[in-house]
Amino acid sequence: MRYSKISGIGHHVPETIITNEYLSTIMDTNDAWITERTGIKERRWINPDKDTVANMAAKASRMALQRAGLTEKDVEFIVFATITSDYYFPGSGVLLQRELGLEGIGALDIKNACSGFIYALSIADQFIKSGMYKTILVVGAEIQSSALDVSDRGRNTAVIFGDGAGAVVLRPSDKPGILSTHLHADGRFAEELYVKDPGGSRPNKERQPEQILDTSGFKVHMNGNQVFKHAVVRFMEVINEALAANNMKKEDIDLLVPHQANLRISQYIQEKLSLRDDQVYNNIMRYGNTTAASIPIAMSEAWAEGKIKENDVICLAAFGSGFTWASALIRW
């Protein structure tokens, strides 16, 4: 039977570090408030003169390819997860293809927010298993800083988000690598965490004032209580679903890499699963919430630090806008 396996992983984050102390100079907030509620101490924001979603993704992809012993020319397909593509359309998948100097290969864009990378990984897994492709780049990348309202009005969300990119190379294997993936959604709660505009469902006369005349950035609406309440339930459900599908128990997890949304959520999951600190990887304190990029960035750092080793069982889990939630169980 044909399986798929991660053969290389990489990431890239912008150089500019934005600390909580800096944010306290431009809005009414402070380090203690941010740390207590989110666990975030700093995040990376782009330099608009040189960073794009696509070129950050290209840097992460080249690192992943190098670690896999491959080159750009080996890539046969791209699955790109982002909610902050460089253009309204086309998606950033084709821009990454251009950055890598490729021609003619397909590029698929995924817009599932914080669950986007696992959705993308699941899709790539099916393509490898079917025999359609042998080498697929799976990417999560976001630039969120350029759309944040960094005034007092937007502080509840502005302090959370960061920029960055992560990528993995998926290849065929005769042994199971991606053991299973599990994808879910519940659109009843779509408006609990969303950005309404630019949206195609309003007449131009309604959209123009918000999109053209208002320069304060996208308006992120987040019902934090609802998101937290649903996240802690769905995280546990989808992790247990992955374990059950593979006849495993929580004791079989060598490393849990959750989406980096809120340190309190990760700590709650860790407690419920009775995992040690060295069994859960968190880097939200350094990067904030990088949405679709958070899991591959965390995995890349964990691998580089020697915390992911051959034959380890790695569990990925995410919850976010949609609501969507997903998990993947991996044998490294």
- What residues are annotated to the active site? 114, 259, 289
| Other beta carbons within 10 Å of 26 | 13
Find residue 194's DSSP bridge partners: 221
What's the farthest any 2 CA atoms get from each other in the chain?
A: 58
Tokens of 121: 């990984």
- Residue 218: which of 309, 149, 274 has the closest Cα? 149
Query: 266: which residues sit within 8 A by CB, 6+ positions away?
Result: 39, 258, 260, 280, 282, 284
Residues 63, 121 contacting (CB under 8 angstroms): no
* CA–CA separation, 135 and 11 (whole Å): 18
What is the bridge-based pairing of β-strands 313-320 and 255-258? parallel
